């Protein structure tokens, strides 16, 4: 951390941060003069920003202190990276504390995406237009997150995962490598819908998606459910119980109808 003087909420240009020793820009990187930097979090803690070689930062992008862009990463116009959480969620108040936020080598954040503080994005990840990634999410290499997608706090997404547009991944979900979610998939992590009840702390049970699981568009996956490795859930299903490894399930509520012949192979 640094002792340079920047107030909470104060905007800065790239030149100011370079002079203060708070911004390092690699060779062949292109940073729009209209990009905005926010080095101090709500507590006044100032963090440096690193932009690797051959990176691109578009006009009106907002980059918060603690952000690291690795080589050839691209942050398009109106993207927000490293934003600290502030406000109430699940009986916890977030105080706007910043954290290191990493965009991996060759990753792309399309226009309008918002990536909160503490997120780690792997190599060659694609983040779609207007996708929201909340604090402390991790995304493995080669994954694709479609546009208008929401990934809630502390979810873990593996490598080469595909999440189609318009889906909602609830807090603390686990998506193992090569999971595929169709468009408009909804996940639930609270069995009793106790959010906002001042006398009760919800016992969250996020769904799990094991290696290679596939879930069709419009499906709803309820709290505590595990979709087994290589399982296939048909479009529009409401999944209320675990789906075994390699099974084919569909319907409302979803039922297992058969086992795939190649289950468990790769």
- Which DSSP string do the residues of the chain spell out, in sequence order? -------TT--B-HHHHHHTT-EEE-TT-EE-TT-EEE-B-TT--B--EEE-TT-EE-TT-EEETTEEE-TT-EE-TT-EEEEPPEEEETTEEEE-----EEE-TT-EE-TT-EEETT-EE-TT-EE-TT-EE-TT-EE-TT-EE-TT-EE-TT-EE-TT-EE-TT-EE-TT-EE-TT-EE-TT-EE--BSS--TT-TT----B---EE-TT-EE-TT-EE-TT-EE-TT-EE-TT-EE-S-B-TTEEEETTTTEEEEE-TTTT--
- Kindly state whether residues 140 and 42 are assigned to the same domain: yes
- Kindly state whether residues 134 and 4 are assigned to the same domain: yes
- Kindly state whether residues 217 and 151 are assigned to the same domain: no
> By residue range, what is the domain housing residue 250?
161-266
For the chain, give the percent of residues with pLDDT over 70.
Answer: 92
Q: What is the mean pLDDT of residues 93-116?
A: 96
Q: Which of 157, 177, 207 is the last residue of a domain?
A: 157
Q: Which of 157, 187, 219 is the last residue of a domain?
A: 157
Tens of pLDDT, residues 127-140 = 999 999 999 999 99
pLDDT higher at 261 or 240 = 240
Q: Which of 107, 126, 157 is the last residue of a domain?
A: 157
- Kindly state whether residues 207 and 136 are assigned to the same domain: no
Tens of pLDDT, residues 182-202 = 999 999 998 877 766 656 666
- Kindly state whether residues 66 and 184 are assigned to the same domain: no
- Kindly state whether residues 41 and 138 are assigned to the same domain: yes
Range of weakest confidence among 13-22, 106-115, 207-216: 13-22
- Kindly state whether residues 137 and 183 are assigned to the same domain: no
For residue 195, what pLDDT is reported? 66
- Kindly state whether residues 147 and 211 are assigned to the same domain: no
For residue 82, what pLDDT is reported? 98
- Kindly state whether residues 147 and 131 are assigned to the same domain: yes
pLDDT for residue 223 is more than 70? yes
For residue 266, what pLDDT is reported? 41
For residue 32, what pLDDT is reported? 96
- The whole-model pTM stands at 0.92
Q: What is the mean pLDDT of residues 87-101?
A: 85
pLDDT for residue 148 is more than 70? yes
- Find the CATH number of the domain harbouring 41: 2.160.10.10
Tens of pLDDT, residues 151-184 = 999 999 999 999 999 999 999 999 999 999 999 9
Tens of pLDDT, residues 52-81 = 999 999 999 999 999 999 999 999 999 999
């Amino acid at each position: 951390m640094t002792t340079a003087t920047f107030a909470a909420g104060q905007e800065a240009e790239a030149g100011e941060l370079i002079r203060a020793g708070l911004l390092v820009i690699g060779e062949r990187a292109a940073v729009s003069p209209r990009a905005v930097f926010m080095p101090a979090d709500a507590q006044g803690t100032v963090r440096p920003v690193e932009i690797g070689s051959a990176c691109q930062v578009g006009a009106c992008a907002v980059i918060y202190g603690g952000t690291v862009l690795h080589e050839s990463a691209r942050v398009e116009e109106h993207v927000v990276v490293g934003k600290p959480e502030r406000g109430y969620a699940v009986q916890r108040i977030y105080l706007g504390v910043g954290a290191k936020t990493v965009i991996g080598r060759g990753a792309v954040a399309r226009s309008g995406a918002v990536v909160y503080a503490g997120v780690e994005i792997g190599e060659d990840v694609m983040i779609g237009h207007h996708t929201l990634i909340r604090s402390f999410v991790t995304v493995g290499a080669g994954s694709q997150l479609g546009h208008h997608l929401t990934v809630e706090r502390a979810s873990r997404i593996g490598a080469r995962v595909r999440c189609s547009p318009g889906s909602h991944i609830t807090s603390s979900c686990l998506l193992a490598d090569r999971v595929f979610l169709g468009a408009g998939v909804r996940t639930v992590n609270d069995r009793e819908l106790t959010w906002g009840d001042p006398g009760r702390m919800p016992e969250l049970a996020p769904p799990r998606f094991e290696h290679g699981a596939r879930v069709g568009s419009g499906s709803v996956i309820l709290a505590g459910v595990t979709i087994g490795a290589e399982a296939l859930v048909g479009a529009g299903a409401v999944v209320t119980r675990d789906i075994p490894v390699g099974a084919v399930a569909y319907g409302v509520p979803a039922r297992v109808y058969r086992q795939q012949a190649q289950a468990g192979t790769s």
